[in-house]
């Protein structure tokens, strides 16, 4: 039996320390976490996952394509995917519009664990409606 989509989160970040931190935060509260350290790996992990992915937590500066391209590719595979974007800088207009249109959330780095958890819970709730 697979877990419900709402419990599985794909975390994508090319900074190993942040990837580990976000994974630990999410697992501590019960999420199943899949990880990727670049965009190509994110698409591969998403496509091969045994668990339906309910949300992606994505750094915008992820290589090689950049977070926006990866996000668009993920959303083409799963339009109801919950989206949380992280970045140390402000969002550009295209990314803001994409997030708005998909009910996504933005978490600015550095972040408090509570902010990250709140954003993930929010997008998962929206995706399940």
Categorize the per-residue pLDDT at 1 as very low, low, confident or very high, splitting at 50, 70 and 90.
very low
Q: What is the pLDDT of residues 55-73, one digit of tens each?
A: 999 999 888 888 889 999 9
The CATH architecture one would assign to domain 8-91 is 3-Layer(aba) Sandwich (3.40)
> How many CB atoms neighbour CB 97 within 10 A?
11
Q: What is the pLDDT of residues 15-56, one digit of tens each?
A: 999 999 999 999 999 999 999 999 999 999 999 999 899 999
This prediction has a pTM of: 0.92
Q: Cα–Cα distance between 28 and 70 in angstroms, integer?
A: 26
The number of C-alpha atoms within 13 Å of 53 and in the hemisphere containing its C-beta is 26
Burial of 10 (0-12, 13-18, 19+ CB in 10 A): buried
Domain map (residue ranges) of the chain = 8-91
8 A C-beta contact, residue 123 and residue 82: yes
């Amino acid at each position: 039996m697979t877990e419900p989509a709402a419990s599985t989160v794909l975390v994508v970040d090319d900074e190993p320390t942040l990837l580990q931190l976000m994974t630990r935060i999410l697992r501590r509260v019960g999420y199943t976490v899949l990880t990727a350290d670049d965009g190509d790996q994110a698409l591969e992990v998403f496509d091969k996952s045994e668990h339906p992915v309910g949300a992606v937590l994505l750094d915008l500066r992820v290589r090689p394509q950049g977070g926006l391209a990866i996000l668009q590719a993920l959303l083409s595979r799963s339009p109801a995917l919950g989206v949380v974007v992280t970045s140390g800088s402000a969002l550009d207009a295209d990314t803001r519009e994409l997030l708005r249109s998909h009910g996504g959330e933005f978490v600015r780095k550095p972040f408090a664990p509570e902010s990250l958890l709140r954003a993930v819970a929010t997008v998962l709730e929206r995706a399940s409606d």
